[in-house]
Each structure stands twice: as C-alpha cells, then as structure tokens.
Amino acid sequence: MTGYAPPIERLIKEFSRFPGIGEKTAARLTAYILRISDDDARRLAESIIEVKEKIRFCSVCFNLAEENLCEICRNTARDDVICVVEDPDSLMVIEKSGSFKGTYHVLHGTLSPLDGIGPDHLKLKELLERVSDDKIKEVIIATNPSVQGEATALLVTKLLRGKGVEVTRIALGVPVGGDLKYMDQMTLSKAIEFRRGM
C-alpha cells in the first residue's frame, strides 16, 4: 500500500478482508470512517463487539441465536418439517417469505472438495440426529441450485434414505413474472425437470 498513515493502512487491510470488498472499496469505507463523528465510530465498533459477544449458533438448528435456542426452535407451534439451508442468510430469506412454518437446519456450507470442504465440515451428523430423535415427517432441501448445492442435496438425500422421512427438494425454475425467451438454459432445464402435475 502507498503512503497512508499506519492506522489508516490497518483499517483498509481489515475492510479488504470482508467478502466482496476489494482494496479500492476498502479505502472508500476507511475514508468514510474518517469523516464520521467519534460517537458514530464508537457505535459501529461497539456493535461489532456486541454481535461477537452475544450471538452464537442455536444448539438445535445452527441458526444465529441470542440464547441456546433460536427464536424459531423456541416456538413449539412450528410444523414437524425441517428445511435444510446452506447458511443463515438463506434461512432469513425463506422465513421472510412467510411460506414455511416448519423449522430449519443450517449446514454452514456446501460440499466443495476443491476447497477442502467435505461432509465432516457440514452440520450433517446433527441433522441425522434430529431426524431420528424428533417427530420429523419431512425434510425439504433448500440448498442453492449451484454445483456444490446440488452435490450437497444429493448427499443429504442419500444420508436420509431409509430414515422414515420424506425428502423433498425445493422447486427450481422460471421466476414469477419471467419470460421464457429470456431464461437461461440451466433455469429452463431445471424448470422442466422439476415440473409438477396440474
């Protein structure tokens, strides 16, 4: 890096470790921090420390939680269906849609042998334990339609075979309001693969 005072260089370096943040954006964020008031800067620093101190993983579903159990797992009125997702962000999106009333299971990743991520790195053992302990009727696999997401979905399906639960995969395909002529090939082929009866 060039000519910045060491504290500025340090902050740029910290920001550039964020996902999707390159050095230019990191420098811009640092310039922003230099402009804000001391109070605003302190509030930002404190909220970073607060999430690290207060937020942990739910001991059942591995969602982010403020207590041993997350809010969803504490709610006993939820259905006996588990929706398996890659990360807490996916959980949040499905939860916000309001279309799912069961509980979740966050794998914290997908199979990615090239990055050294194998089955042991995902919360699979814990999922199997839940399926055999609880009165779970169905497991919906909602990993992303990426190569890694599909590989993970296949593995989960294989592991759950013969465990007495129905295993389903979220439907993938044409978005609402979409137009077939602008759809990419992968989206269309998935839409046909996951067609349903009328």
Contacting residues toward Zn ion, per CB under 5 A: 58, 60-61, 63, 70, 73
Between 63 and 148, name the residue whose CB sits nearer to Zn ion: 63
The minimum distance between CB 74 and Zn ion, in angstroms, equals 8
Nearest distance, CB of residue 92 and Zn ion, angstroms: 13
- β-pairing, 138-141 vs 81-85, is parallel
Q: How far is the CB of 114 from Zn ion (least distance, A)?
A: 30
| Shortest CB 48 distance to Zn ion, Å | 23
- Quick one: 15 or 104, whose CB is closer to Zn ion? 104
Q: Which is nearer to Zn ion, 83 or 141 (CB)?
A: 83
Residues 6+ apart with CB under 8 A from 161: 167
Q: In 3-state terms, the chain is what percent helix, strand and coil (to 5)?
A: 50, 10, 40
CA 44, 48, 53 angle in degrees (round to 5)? 140
58 or 165, CB closer to Zn ion? 58
Q: In whole angstroms, what is the distance from residue 50 CA to residue 76 CA? A: 28
Q: H helices within 138-179, ranges in order?
A: 147-160
In the bound complex, what is the minimum distance in angstroms from residue 104's beta carbon to Zn ion?
A: 7
Q: Alpha-carbon distance 157 to 135, whole Å? A: 18
Using the minimum distance from each CB to Zn ion, give the nearer residue, 56 or 121: 56
Nearer residue to Zn ion within complex by CB, 60 or 139: 60
Q: Which two tokens stand for residue 125?
A: 């053992």
Kindly state the smallest distance separating residue 127's Cβ from Zn ion, in Å. Answer: 12
C-alpha span between 185 and 181 (Å, rounded): 10
The C-alpha R_g of the chain, in whole angstroms, comes to 21
